[in-house]
Structure 1
Amino acid sequence: MKASDRFPVSTTLLRRLAYASIVANVAIVVTGGAVRLTASGLGCPTWPRCTDASYTTTPEMGVHGMIEFGNRLLTFAVGIIALAVVLAVLLHRPRRRGLLPLAVAVLFGIPAQAVIGGITVLTNLNPWVVGLHFLASMVVIAAAYALWRRIKEPDGPAVAVVPGPLRTLALLTTVVSASVLVVGTWVTGSGPHAGDGGAARNGLDPEQISQVHADGVFLLIGLSVALVFAFQAVGATAAARAAVVLVAVELGQGVIGFVQYFTDLPALLVGAHMLGSCLVLLATLSVLWSTRERRPAPPAPAPAATATADRVPAVA
């Protein structure tokens, strides 16, 4: 008897595990932000060990060591959830196409992201590497979201539910959303929260790069509002609802961004802004997903019946 027959995994359980993976990966972004915002980025001054002689923090390293080491431990928890998702996909029947590659991508993306995090420590929190560390988490979150959405879809072909130009507009909005995230890491790399008092900054002018970031946000909001009206015009109700959610998340994120800028970047608001970045990404992907749907594959045609009399020789 196969393992999938002895320990069947329902679609409901699989979706819950995939959703837990999304939440866990968002949580590690927020805790990673806490490491930087509390100046604990070098709480463990080396990697993969916490010190040259220990894999764990020591009392001498104080609260900064505890915060950094705690974030490293959380990586293992996120990895365990991702492994559980892979096993659940293997035990799920009927297995849908595309689930296993996505689950494996999330699983292997977590240690890859951890390695980049180790490089940030080994490079004394180089701001460009720190930014890459954040963006790697965004890629893992996107893969986890794609897996969660794919679980409830049938194996049929993907069919657009909006006209081609609107699908293109949604793709353009996704690209702009991603670019806003990238530029946001440049803003962070130019600002005061380096993760450690001795860490270098990227050399960009904070005011100028913040203006570039704000311009990108305005463009993103404009595109998103256009999607709301365009989807409503063609009767794409689900897509319009997803676009409304995206606009709401963007406006909330924009308010946090402006308040933190004009209040000299308090750590709590910067942390909330990092959480908002994850929510903007997820809302953007929701809009993109709403422009198409998979429909069940048509059943295979039955073989044409052949008359028995045509195949039996006549008897004299």
Structure 2
Amino acid sequence: MVDGERALRVWLWASLVCNMGIIVTGAVVRLTSSGLGCPTWPKCSEDSYVPHEAYGINGVIEFGNRLLTFVLIIAALGAFIAAWRNRGVRSRLWWITLGIGIGIPFQGVIGGITVLTQLNPFVVALHLLLSVALIVICVWSIQVASRPDRIPVAPLQKAAVIATFVASMLAIWVGTVVTGSGPHAGDLKAVRTGFDIEAVARLHGLSAWLVVALTLVTLWLVRRNAELRKVMLIVLGTVLLQGAIGYIQYFLGVPAVIVALHMVGLSLLTAAVSWPLVITSRSTHADQPGADAPTAVRAS
């Protein structure tokens, strides 16, 4: 059973890493103008599932990203089977891994719609946001598998954790609007949102500063809880790193390499802000903000 539990955690981590990685590879497709390297879906062309030589490197990149969906499916299936073998069909983890498994093919369908709509920026944004949601669920699955005892926190502390998470998701969503309004559309013929890029970039910057402020507030509220303080310091470091990359790409004119790093930061930020959300539980019996860390109680 111990080996089975270890295998379960390995599969869950693999699923998380794969879902984080697909965000980065999707960015590579967009940054190399390979979004329509395969001009149709589910086939690459009207008469072939694989790219023709005439499609060049763009077809290879786009087709390669499509193939990575199968890697995600394998990781999700492995996690699902491991959860079934070790926890049973009535466990919360079984349902969570089932949800991840369902989400990945659905993600593939949305990816197909992005191609069929000629990279409509709003559909592209939805494609990314679903990957973000899957990362959050993967982090949740790891929490359920590795630490069933959540940390009880005072209502104000939990509210701060939730607010930081929500603000981070808001900043990510606004970031997709910026992406849909600027360069690197994935194809030279792809349409843009029509929004003023300077305006939405400033709005994105404000949302990022809101995340920084709420992270600092949360860190102060949990400052005497050693474990949560460490977690929030990691969140703060991730937020600041992502913000720094964002400003660098803005002032350098959004070079492709920096944009790719920003997408790496996005996946790391999503995982980081999800962890304090899933490991804490609101408790009116918990110590007030600033008190020493209470003893964890079973909450899952």
Same fold at TM > 0.5: yes
Aligned counterparts, 1:277-292, within 5 A? 277-292=266-281
**CA distance in 2 between partners of 1:9 and 1:123 (Å):** 46
**CA distance in 1 between partners of 2:237 and 2:92 (Å):** 31
Residue of structure 1 in register with 2:259 after alignment: 270
Aligned counterparts, 1:182-193, within 5 A? 182-193=173-184
Equivalent of 2:57 in 58, 63, 67: 63
**CA distance in 1 between partners of 2:277 and 2:265 (Å):** 18
Q: List alignment gaps of at least 5 residues for structure 1.
A: 298-316
Q: Please tell me whether the aligned partners of residues 162 and 236 of structure 1 are also in contact (alpha carbons under 8 angstroms).
A: no
Aligned-residue sequence identity (percent) comes to 40
Residue of structure 2 in register with 1:166 after alignment: 157
1:23-62 residue CA offsets vs partner (Å, 9 max, x unmatched): 0111111001000000000000000000000011111110
1:271-307 residue CA offsets vs partner (Å, 9 max, x unmatched): 110111111111111122343355289xxxxxxxxxx
Residue of structure 1 in register with 2:76 after alignment: 82
**CA distance in 1 between partners of 2:78 and 2:31 (Å):** 31
Equivalent of 2:105 in 95, 105, 111: 111
Q: Secondary structure at the match of 2:222?
A: helix
Residue of structure 1 in register with 2:285 after alignment: none
TM-score, structure 2 normalization: 0.91
Q: Secondary structure at the match of 1:161?
A: strand
Aligned length: 286
TM-score, structure 1 normalization: 0.87
Residue of structure 2 in register with 1:202 after alignment: 193
| Superposition misfits of 4+ residues, deviation over 4 angstroms | 93-96
Residue of structure 1 in register with 2:249 after alignment: 260
Residue of structure 2 in register with 1:313 after alignment: none
Shift in alpha-carbon separation, 1:112–1:294, aligned structure 2, 3 A: farther
**CA distance in 2 between partners of 1:23 and 1:89 (Å):** 18
Q: Please tell me whether the aligned partners of residues 96 and 151 of structure 1 are also in contact (alpha carbons under 8 angstroms).
A: no
Residue of structure 2 in register with 1:246 after alignment: 235
Q: Please tell me whether the aligned partners of residues 127 and 200 of structure 1 are also in contact (alpha carbons under 8 angstroms).
A: yes
Shift in alpha-carbon separation, 1:53–1:172, aligned structure 2, 3 A: same
The letter for the 1-side match of 2:68 is L
Verify: 1:295 aligned to 2:271, yes or no.
Answer: no
Whichever of the two has the greater Rg, that structure is 1
Report the Cα offset of residue 252 of structure 1: 0.5
Shift in alpha-carbon separation, 1:93–1:159, aligned structure 2, 3 A: closer
Aligned counterparts, 1:95-134, within 5 A? 97-134=91-128
Over the aligned positions, Cα root-mean-square deviation in angstroms equals 1.8
Q: Please tell me whether the aligned partners of residues 30 and 184 of structure 2 are also in contact (alpha carbons under 8 angstroms).
A: yes
Q: Secondary structure at the match of 2:254?
A: coil
**CA distance in 1 between partners of 2:165 and 2:35 (Å):** 31
Aligned counterparts, 1:140-155, within 5 A? 140-154=134-148
1:245-276 residue CA offsets vs partner (Å, 9 max, x unmatched): 11100110011000000111011110110111
Report the Cα offset of residue 11 of structure 1: 1.2
**CA distance in 2 between partners of 1:114 and 1:159 (Å):** 33
1:57-105 residue CA offsets vs partner (Å, 9 max, x unmatched): 1111100000000000010111111111111111115778200111011
Shift in alpha-carbon separation, 1:86–1:159, aligned structure 2, 3 A: closer
Q: List alignment gaps of at least 5 residues for structure 2.
A: 282-295
1:223-246 residue CA offsets vs partner (Å, 9 max, x unmatched): 1011111101xx321111111111
Determine which structure has greater relative contact order: mean sequence separation of CA pairs < 8 Å that are 6+ residues apart, divided by chain length.
Answer: 2
Shift in alpha-carbon separation, 1:69–1:244, aligned structure 2, 3 A: same
Residue of structure 1 in register with 2:208 after alignment: 217
